[in-house]
Amino acid sequence: MVSRPRERETNDQRKEHMNERARFRHGSPDGYKVLLELDNYINNCGLELPLLYLIYLRISQINGCAYCTDMHWKDARHAGASENKLALVPCWREAPGFTARERAALSWAESVTNLADGHVSDAEYASACAAFSEAEICNLTLAISAMNLWNRLGISFRMEPGNYQPS
């Protein structure tokens, strides 16, 4: 059997694949409201917003959510993060310029996000506990879980990146 070369997609076909499928906030307004209430809690739980934006950016990069990556890059810049720091988020372990608290949060965020790799280790938990109180670990884990949920919505419904502007 001879295989035929795969035909290249046209620009119109690519656009068709990337059309937004549904708007969660319109399709499930009560569910959207609950998620916004959760975000409001997280934003006011005492964790620093610039730290949250860094972990949101990293989680969104891991999950491949273009909409959330765009959003949280802009949020982090708006909160004062440098372009250089944001460019180094994917390789934060090797990069200078991240505080011990940011490194602990990024490591915890990666472990909680990458559950397909196995359970979060006791060593990882101990490392996070060295930088965060028990309440902060709980709220940080809640923030990580919420971002993973938003990523799944963004990816599933093909939310289009680029138009978000920080307030």
Residue ranges per structural domain of the chain: 47-156
Q: What residue ranges of the chain have pLDDT lower than 50?
A: 1-7, 9, 11, 13-14
- Per-chain mean pLDDT for the chain: 89
Element (H, E) at 109: helix 100-113
pLDDT of residue 17: 53
pLDDT of residue 4: 46
Instruction: Please name the fold of domain 47-156.
Output: AhpD-like (1.20.1290)
Element (H, E) at 65: none
Closest residue by Cα to residue 145 from 111, 113, 102: 113
pLDDT of residue 149: 97
For residue 82, CA distances in Å to 9, 67, 78, 86, 87 come to 37, 20, 9, 6, 9
pLDDT of residue 55: 98
Contact 78, 99 (CB under 8 A): no
pLDDT of residue 167: 84
35: CB partners within 8 A, 6+ apart: 146, 149, 150
State pTM to two decimals.
Answer: 0.86
pLDDT of residue 128: 97
Q: How far apart are CA 121 and CA 114, in angstroms?
A: 12
Residues of the chain with pLDDT > 90, as a percent, come to: 76
For residue 155, CA distances in Å to 52, 69, 78, 114, 140 come to 20, 11, 24, 17, 22
Closest residue by Cα to residue 51 from 22, 83, 24, 89: 89
pLDDT of residue 25: 79
Q: Establish how many alpha carbons lie within 13 A of residue 145's alpha carbon, considering only the half-sphere containing its beta carbon.
A: 9
